[in-house]
Amino acid sequence: MAVQATTTPTTDAISPNSSNVNVDKETVSLIDADLRYQLMVQGLNSKFHILRSSMGG
């Protein structure tokens, strides 16, 4: 699995530290990814529990 960086043109204002990173947007994106990951893990755990139960364990 290869990872590739991407850039997107933006019109966001540049902050005093010479960055146009929107910390609020990045935080929301990180929280979204984390919640999706947690949901996936819970779903897999449920499926594995069902599988273990069906095997008598």
In sequence order, what DSSP letters do the residues of 1-57 get, joined into one string? -----------PPPPTTS----HHHHHHHHHHHHHHHHHHHHHHHHHHHHHHHHTT-
Among 8, 5, 38, smallest CA distance to 22 is for: 8
pLDDT in tens, 12-49: 888 888 888 889 999 999 999 999 999 999 999 999 99
Q: Is the pTM of this model over 0.75?
A: no
